[in-house]
Amino acid sequence: MLKKLSITLLMAISFCLAASAQKADNILGKWINPSGEGQVLIYKKDNKFYGKLVWLKIPDRDGKPKTDIKNPDKALQSRPELGLELLQDFTFNGEDVYEDGTIYDPKSGKTYSCKMTLEGESLKIRGYVGISLFGRTEVWKRVK
């Protein structure tokens, strides 16, 4: 009887863990920012979530690919914006929230603490300094 209960409990735990991992992966894919200027591909690496800029609507003034000119590190200012990892180190908390990550804003060259909340085909991105109360939220839409 005890052996049967142990096996049942182990199976239930395994099912819950698999369901949680599958739910966490719902964020994976391409997302477009509210202005429609850029698309970010969210992917998973080592059980954390990251986002890379994969499409830009508008090149720089000369028609060349945009570079990271606002980066405070002069050595990085010539790197292309396309391919930049804007979202880093997010963990899934089990309730459609991804937290403890950062977001890099190439328009300002600043990195902020960030949390993301998945709501269907929308992704609320909250960048902040210190505590979440002092920040700004954008809503990104999933690219079909």
Residue by residue, pLDDT tens for the chain (144 residues) are 555 544 443 333 333 344 445 699 999 999 999 999 999 999 999 999 999 999 999 877 787 889 999 999 999 999 999 999 999 999 999 999 999 999 999 999 999 999 999 999 999 999 999 888 899 999 999 998
- Exposure string over 76-93, b if 16+ CB within 10 A, otherwise e: eeeeebeebebbbbbebe
Domain residue ranges of the chain, discontinuous segments joined by +: 2-142
Class of domain 2-142: mainly beta
> Could you tell me the pTM of the whole model?
0.82
